[in-house]
Structure 1
Amino acid sequence: MNLNIPDTRQSELATRLKEGQQLVAIELAHEFGVSIDTIRRDILALEAQGKAHRVRGGAVPIAAPAAPLHVRLTDGPPPDKNLIQSAIREIGDAPTLLVDGGQTILCVIEHLPKQQGRLVITPSPWVAIACQERGIAVFMLGGTLRPLGGITTGDTTTTRIAELYADIALIGACGIEADFGLSSDDHDEAMMKRAMHEAANRTIIVTDKAKIGRRARYQTLTMSDIDTVITDASSEMTKTLQASGTRVVTSQ
C-alpha cells in the first residue's frame, strides 16, 4: 500500500472511521510517514465527502441515526451485563432518579433492585412499565412520544421536568466524544436530556462502546456538564474523555 498517494491514504482512513476508530492527526502522520498538514488535508477531504467529523487534533466517525427503539429491542444485541451492573453500583441508594429511555437505560432499570422510598421519573413508557413490574414507584412524564428513543418530548415534558429535582439523571447516548460532548440524533430528545441534566444533582451517562468517539447531529451536553460516563469501552478508547476531566467508569 503506497501511502504517498492521497486516495490510498484517504481510503485507509475512511475504513478506520467506518470501524468506529478516532483519527489522531499527529499519530497518523508518524504512522504513515507524512506531515501533519498532509493528514489534515486528508481529513478535510473526508469531511467534504461526508465520511468524517473534524475535531481538534483529528476526526471522529459520523454516527448513523439509530433504529427506532422497538426495532432495537427486538433485533439488537443485549447490553453488556458488566456495563449494567456498573451502572447499578453507581446509582447506589439514590432515592430519586430521572431516567432517560433507550435500550441500555431500560436494561439498567430492569435489573435495578427495589428500594423503599425510591422514585423513578421518566419520559419512557418502557421504563415506566419495567418499574411497575419491579415494584418501583414511578412518575411518567407526558408529551409527544418519539419513536427513536421511545421517550416523550416537547414543551409539556421539559416544563414539567423543570419543576422537579432528582438526585441522579441517568441518560443514554447516541454519541459522545471529548470535543462535542454528548449528542443526540433528534433535536427534541436533545432538549429533553438537557432538561433532565439541569434538574438533577448528578448526571450519569450510560453507553455502550459503539457510541464512544461518535458525534450525532445535535449537541446535548458538554463534557463539563457530565459527572460520570459508564461504558463497556476500553480505557484506550475512553482516554480522550478522561483527559477532559470527566470521570469515566469502564466495565471491562
Structure 2
Amino acid sequence: MQIDLTGKRALVTGASRGLGRAIALSLANAGADVVITYEKSADKAQAVAEEIRALGRKGHAIQADSSSAEAIVQAVNQTAETLGGLDILVNNAGIARGGPLESMSLEDIDAVIGVNIRGVVIATQAALAHLGQGGRIINIGSCLANRVAFEGIAVYSMSKSALNSFTRGLARDLGPKGITVNLVHPGPTDSDMNPADGEEAKAQLQHIALGHYGKPEDIAAAVTFLASPAAGQITGTGLDVDGGVNA
C-alpha cells in the first residue's frame, strides 16, 4: 500500500535521533512537511532537517525542552506558523530513568513525569488550536506500559501506561471533530537509548517472540500508517510494535 501524505504538515517531538528521526524521515518520504524538536543535539537535529529537505519537503528543527511548558507551546505554534498549519502531531519525546523506587531521587521522578506525561498533554493541548478535520495525534508509548517485565522500571512504566487512558479519552473527545488519536507501543528497538548489543540486550531478547530487536523504521512505518487517510477509522487504539514481547 502506497501511503500519500502530500500536503500534510507534521510535528515530531524529540526527533534528532533514533525513533524520532526515523519517524520524521518516514513522514517526509510519504510527502509530508516536517518540523522536529530537539533539546540539546543541535547538529544532529539540523542534519535531520536537511535530510527532510533532501526528500523535497520542508524541514525545520526547533530547540525545545519537552519538560518546559512554555517551550513546548512555542514550538507547536512556531511549527504551525512555519508550515502554514498543522495536521499531524507525533508525541515522541521521552526519557527513561530507572532503579528501585526507594533510591530514585525526586528530581528523576519529576523528570520522567514531566516529559513523558506532562509534556505530551501540553503539546497536544497546544496542537488542538491548529488541528482540524482529518488531524492525527500519535503518541509513542512502550511495551512496558502494559506488561512490566523487568525490575526497576515502575515509574517509567507508569508514565507510559498513562498514555493509554489519555489516548482513549482524547479519541472520545476529538472524534466528533474528525481527529484521530492513537498510540504506538515500541518493544526493544535498536537505538542509542537501547542498543541491540547493549548490556541489557540479552535480558530483553528472551522476551521477544521474533528473537531479535526491532529497527526504528519498524516504529516509523506504524506511525506513518496511522497518520495516513488509510487509518481514518482507527482511533483510541494502542498498537504494539514489539516483536511479540506482549503476545
Larger Rg: 1
| TM-score normalised by the chain length of structure 1 | 0.41
TM-score by length of 2: 0.41
Judging by fraction of residues, say which structure has more helix. Answer: 2
Greater fraction strand: 1
More contact order relative to length (CA 8 Å, sep ≥ 6) = 2
